Amino acid sequence: MISLSSQGAAALQQARAQLAAALRDDSGADDLLARFDRWGPDLWNGLVGAYDAETVLPRFVELIAQAHRDRSAELRARDTERLLQPDWFQRPEALGYVAYTDRFAGDLAGVQSHIDYLSDLGVTYLHLMPLLEPRPAPNDGGYAVMDYRKVRSDLGTMQNLRDLAAALHEAGIALTLDLVLNHVAQEHEWAVAARNGDTAKREYFLAFPDRTLPDEYERSLPEVFPAFAPGNFTWDDSLNAWVWTTFNTWQWDLNWANPDVLCEFADIILFLANQGVDCIRLDAIAFLWKRMGTNCQGEPEVHAITQALRAAARIATPALIFKAEAIVGPDDVVKYLGVGEHAGRISDLAYHNSLMVQIWSAFAMHDARLLTSSLNRFAQIPSTTAWGTYLRCHDDIGWAIDDRDANSQGFDGGAHRAFLAEYYAGEFDGSPSRGAHFQSNPLTGDRRTSGSAASLAGIESALEAHDEAALTLAIDKVLCGYAIVLGFGGIPLIYMGDEIGLLNDYSFVDEPEHAADNRWLHRPMMDWPRAKAARTSSDYSGRLLRGLTELIEARKDCDALHAATAPEIFHGADSAVLVLRRRHPGGTVIQVFNMAGSSRELAADSLWPLDTNQLRDLITGSSVTLSSGALRLPAYSTLWLVDTP
């Protein structure tokens, strides 16, 4: 039930008249007005949560009218299509792929020429890493944007982007782009104007004449990059002030309390949607709102702002969805998909960082108990939203193990986090991993981890040692991890190169602007000869690709894997065995994963309500029999079980 104040109702009525007048001659005006009636209250309530809504609403109406006028006939048709199939990203056939444009295919035209590769894999959603004009390197892999309306010149032009989006749409693939909202490059025209004395633009940033307030804020602020950008403020001579810089010194945080900043971004979002972008990844969304005495992450205004922006997009460019990048704890992440008044009204997708961390943690321990207990603490997400599930991404792995979760399993959170960092750096006895420490923080003892999925799982060390048995285990471990990612529910995101097991790329140290940031270890160039050969080769790449393809195929037709059906998560009597049960009107599916490097058993009673006399594995299509009342599970094996009809 949407509640709306009488002030809101009156303001919306006026706004509707403003919109109708602005679009008097537009053939799509009726549809737009219908959407305004439907989502106008969301817009108002969002604005009220952070701004003087009465003054901001008319500005939004102008932006919406303009974006609607600019929207092409093709994209308006896509709007209708998406409105009729709003669950497109929740469906079992939805599959994501995440890549850097240059590292995957040189430039945007190159990506276009590799659409077949993506289609063959079954991809329906492509996230191209930051590609809007960044500051000259270093630029945090493009997360320091200078111009949101220009494509990085070596990758192509806005026209190339529109062409690519259209070609992807033709192939049934949605396009996701990053939108960096927390900060801009210090070379962005807003920052340049502020330095040149433009007082209105100075208000776009958080600039302090002395250390009084920065020091007070620092008391409760964590450091994101303690090793290469300690502290959260940077002195700027031209501004004669300390500027808020949560990330690097050249990434200037924006002052989202200023409604001008909000309107700029509403405009940018609608502009990108009109280029054919289907999903906006809200980069570092947690950090937008600053409040003294807090860690300045996930303040209530963040969700109100997201709701206002989401409503504007729903009205003007309804094919667009939002994905929240909020790498926060279990208690907080669910809020980005909307709880309470925001349920179903903000982001459609959010990264399931905890699932990723817990998978690697369970592999290191050969035990799924911590995984099941922490994942069971997550609140239900709105049925219209979905997780983005993943095993690796372009960022490091922060060992976000909650202290309470660790305690509930009888161990210490700090000690377990330290163990994981050491294990995946290959420093722990018996670890096959080849990761590297990222951002070691001597003050907190915190260490994060870089490294590709293949190298973390042990493929690199097994190849080096010519150890065939270890190689098989490592391949099966990656496949088991991906089977969980594909089986959990939500849109699985394959990180470029994982499908063929690309190893760590040690050459990043040769590039001066990358050398200090070892996240480039797991941002390799696509190995096209390897990718092409993998379809038929029997090497590790071929084995991975075939295993992954089998999982993708099995998933496609399985209604129970629609993201709206949440899994029941538990482990077997042997706690290395993770079980996900989905009871769905179309039939129950029970997914079984052995997360240990040795063979294990699962007792028949864990397979309820399936009939254990007639089990079939969806992945291989073969029937499965129990021996002495139990399922035997080879190391890192996966079964997706259903009743044989």
Binding mask 234-253 for ligand GLC (x = CB under 6 A): -------------x------
415/362 Cα distance (integer angstroms): 15
Least CB distance to ligand GLC at residue 514 (A): 13
142-201 residues in contact with ligand GLC (CB under 6 A) are: 143, 180
Q: Does 283 bind ligand GLC (CB under 6 A)?
A: yes
Q: Which amino acid is at 530?
A: R
591-610 residues in contact with ligand GLC (CB under 6 A) are: none
224/84 Cα distance (integer angstroms): 41
447/399 Cα distance (integer angstroms): 8
181/562 Cα distance (integer angstroms): 30
Least CB distance to ligand GLC at residue 446 (A): 16
DSSP string, 153-216: TTT--HHHHHHHHHHHHHTT-EEEEEEE-SEEETTSHHHHHHHTT-HHHHTTB-EESSSHHHHH
Burial category of 603 from C-beta neighbours within 10 Å (exposed 0-12, middle 13-18, buried 19 and up) = middle
Q: Which is nearer to ligand GLC, 335 or 345 (CB)?
A: 335
Size of the site for ligand GLC (CB under 6 A): 9
301-330 residues in contact with ligand GLC (CB under 6 A) are: 325
Among 3-11, 28-36, 48-56, 137-145, which window interacts with ligand GLC (CB under 6 A)? 137-145
Least CB distance to ligand GLC at residue 180 (A): 5
Q: Which is nearer to ligand GLC, 246 or 274 (CB)?
A: 246
Q: Which is nearer to ligand GLC, 269 or 284 (CB)?
A: 284
435-464 residues in contact with ligand GLC (CB under 6 A) are: none
Q: Does 495 bind ligand GLC (CB under 6 A)?
A: no
Q: Which amino acid is at 403?
A: D
The answer to whether the beta carbons of residues 285 and 326 sit under 8 Å apart is: yes
605 flagged as catalytic: no
499/362 Cα distance (integer angstroms): 21
Q: Which is nearer to ligand GLC, 136 or 586 (CB)?
A: 136
Closest residue to ligand GLC, based on beta-carbon distance: 143
* Cα–Cα distance list, 457 to 444, 543, 597 (Å): 27, 15, 11
44/52 Cα distance (integer angstroms): 10
Q: Mapping DSSP to helix (H, G, I), strand (E, B) and coil, where does residue 39 land? A: helix
User: Considering only CA atoms, which of 468, 459, 458 is closest in space to residue 432?
Assistant: 458
Least CB distance to ligand GLC at residue 477 (A): 25
Least CB distance to ligand GLC at residue 38 (A): 32
Q: Does 479 bind ligand GLC (CB under 6 A)?
A: no
Among 138-146, 431-439, 489-497, 630-638, which window interacts with ligand GLC (CB under 6 A)? 138-146
325/302 Cα distance (integer angstroms): 12
Q: Which is nearer to ligand GLC, 284 or 479 (CB)?
A: 284
Least CB distance to ligand GLC at residue 545 (A): 26
Q: How far apart are the first and last CA of the chain?
A: 41
3/156 Cα distance (integer angstroms): 46
Among 135-143, 166-174, 347-355, 590-598, which window interacts with ligand GLC (CB under 6 A)? 135-143
Among 284, 391, 480, 590, binds ligand GLC (CB under 6 A): 284
Joined tokens for residue 573:
């009597």
Least CB distance to ligand GLC at residue 492 (A): 18
Q: Which is nearer to ligand GLC, 253 or 367 (CB)?
A: 253
Q: What are the strands, taking DSSP E only, across 532-599?
A: 568-571, 577-582, 589-594
Q: Which is nearer to ligand GLC, 143 or 271 (CB)?
A: 143
User: Considering only CA atoms, which of 395, 286, 269 is closest in space to residue 336?
Assistant: 286
Q: Does 140 bind ligand GLC (CB under 6 A)?
A: yes
The radius of gyration computed from the CA coordinates of the chain, to the nearest angstrom, equals 25
* Cα–Cα distance list, 503 to 426, 517, 551, 583 (Å): 15, 17, 22, 38
Least CB distance to ligand GLC at residue 397 (A): 12
Among 136-144, 339-347, 522-530, 628-636, which window interacts with ligand GLC (CB under 6 A)? 136-144
283 flagged as catalytic: yes
Least CB distance to ligand GLC at residue 349 (A): 15
Least CB distance to ligand GLC at residue 224 (A): 7
Q: Which is nearer to ligand GLC, 44 or 351 (CB)?
A: 351
Joined tokens for residue 30:
């009726």
Please work out, in degrees rounded to the nearest 5, the angle formed at the alpha carbon of residue 246 by the alpha carbons of 241 and 251: 75
Q: Which is nearer to ligand GLC, 64 or 128 (CB)?
A: 128
Among 140-148, 256-264, 347-355, 584-592, which window interacts with ligand GLC (CB under 6 A)? 140-148
221/231 Cα distance (integer angstroms): 9
Among 95-103, 139-147, 196-204, 625-633, which window interacts with ligand GLC (CB under 6 A)? 139-147
363-422 residues in contact with ligand GLC (CB under 6 A) are: 395
Max Cα distance, the chain (Å) = 79
Q: Which is nearer to ligand GLC, 140 or 187 (CB)?
A: 140
- The pair phi, psi for residue 96, each rounded to 5°, is -100, 155
Q: Which is nearer to ligand GLC, 325 or 367 (CB)?
A: 325
103/135 Cα distance (integer angstroms): 19
Q: Residues 299, 325, 367, 405: which is the catalytic one?
A: 325
Binding mask 104-123 for ligand GLC (x = CB under 6 A): --------------------
Least CB distance to ligand GLC at residue 130 (A): 8
Burial code (b: 16+ CB inside 10 Å, e: under 16) for 569-600 equals bbbbebbbbbbbbbeeeeebbbbbbbbbbeeb
Please name the residue that has the structure tokens 């460019």: 317
Burial category of 510 from C-beta neighbours within 10 Å (exposed 0-12, middle 13-18, buried 19 and up) = exposed
Q: Which is nearer to ligand GLC, 284 or 534 (CB)?
A: 284
Burial category of 209 from C-beta neighbours within 10 Å (exposed 0-12, middle 13-18, buried 19 and up) = exposed
Strand-pairing partners, residue 235, are 242
Q: Residues 178, 223, 283, 422: which is the catalytic one?
A: 283
Least CB distance to ligand GLC at residue 419 (A): 25
Q: Mapping DSSP to helix (H, G, I), strand (E, B) and coil, where does residue 593 land? A: strand
User: Considering only CA atoms, which of 10, 17, 118 is closest in space to residue 61?
Assistant: 17
Interface with ligand GLC by CB under 6 A: which residues?
Answer: 140-141, 143, 180, 247, 283-284, 325, 395
Which positions are annotated as active-site residues? 283, 325
